[in-house]
Amino acid sequence: MAPKPYFPTIRDSPVSLGRRLFDGFLNLIYPEECFVCSAALAGHQDCGICSRCWDNVLSLKITPPRCTSCGLPMQSFDDTPDHLCGNCILQMPPYAGARSFGYYTAELSKIIQELKFRGRRNLVRLLGPLLTAAFFESWSRDEFDLIVPVPLHPKRRRDRGYNQSELLARSLSRQIAVPLGRFLVRVRPTLPQVGLTDSERKENVRKAFRCSRPQQISGKRILLVDDVMTTGATAASAARALLDGGALRVSVLTVARAGKG
């Protein structure tokens, strides 16, 4: 028997007989495939991912040791505790700790790209609980007053129809009962960070954000939520805007994290 998934999601909730019959009927006229590996799916309630691919997603979970500040996974050959990475020793980031659920690779990157670029909004039902699991691994709900999603530029949001980070942040907000506030705006369009060097990334997102309602965030302990963290340049720029707006402290949580120390 397969081990029980350790992050229960919508996939693991009991399915009624009526729903199973309906799924069987749907599969007859409209068979569904896993969008990652193309295996046939048993149920239409699986958000388009087979159980094998989902198990692979869970196995991409980041485990310690990580950088105590930016959350970068570190290599170790024994039980090394979390410690600061070289980058954070040279320059501490403006945020008070960043954490992510898993590595941005293989199945997890595929799912995030489907959510972002292919309109599969329902994938938030799978990814939201991973964010919640990563949250409780490092923090408790009474450490935060507000959750703020990293915004898209209004033009990109219009084109896409939604902001995936906001959907994720809303899911987390419901699950941990910390209010959501869209108090950050992207004031200039930025290039996608993919393919830029570290210094180009920093320049690309410098002063890209502004706090829209400083009175709402003044003195607040904020959790900034995004889908992916790569170099941390976007998170640092957004955190700086919130701190400039009067936030007391900003921490960062993302579903996935690129890179390994």
Per CB under 5 A, the segment of 18-26, 72-80, 130-138, 158-166 that binds Zn ion is 72-80
79 to 118: interface string for Zn ion, x by CB under 5 A:
------x--x------------------------------
- Rounded Cα distance, 65 and 59, in Å: 16
For Zn ion, the closer CB: 41 or 148: 41
Strand order in the sheet with 98-103: 98-103, 249-257, 221-229, 146-149
Per CB under 5 A, the segment of 36-44, 189-197, 200-208, 222-230 that binds Zn ion is 36-44
CB of 33 vs Zn ion, minimal distance in Å: 8
* 8 A C-beta contact, residue 182 and residue 148: yes
Picking from 10, 53, 35, the residue whose alpha carbon sits closest to that of residue 120 is 35
* 8 A C-beta contact, residue 183 and residue 245: yes
14 to 33: interface string for Zn ion, x by CB under 5 A:
--------------------
CB of 140 vs Zn ion, minimal distance in Å: 22
For Zn ion, the closer CB: 88 or 243: 88
For Zn ion, the closer CB: 70 or 178: 70
* 8 A C-beta contact, residue 97 and residue 85: no
CB of 127 vs Zn ion, minimal distance in Å: 16
149 to 188: interface string for Zn ion, x by CB under 5 A:
----------------------------------------
Q: Is residue 41 near Zn ion by the rule CB under 5 A?
A: no
Handedness of CA 234, 235, 237, 242 (dihedral sign): positive
For Zn ion, the closer CB: 146 or 233: 233
* 8 A C-beta contact, residue 227 and residue 256: yes
Picking from 184, 206, 186, 260, the residue whose alpha carbon sits closest to that of residue 229 is 260
- Work out whether strand 98-103 and strand 221-229 pair parallel, antiparallel, or are unpaired: unpaired
**Residues in contact with Zn ion by the rule CB under 5 A:** 34, 36-37, 39, 50, 53, 67, 69-70, 72, 85, 88
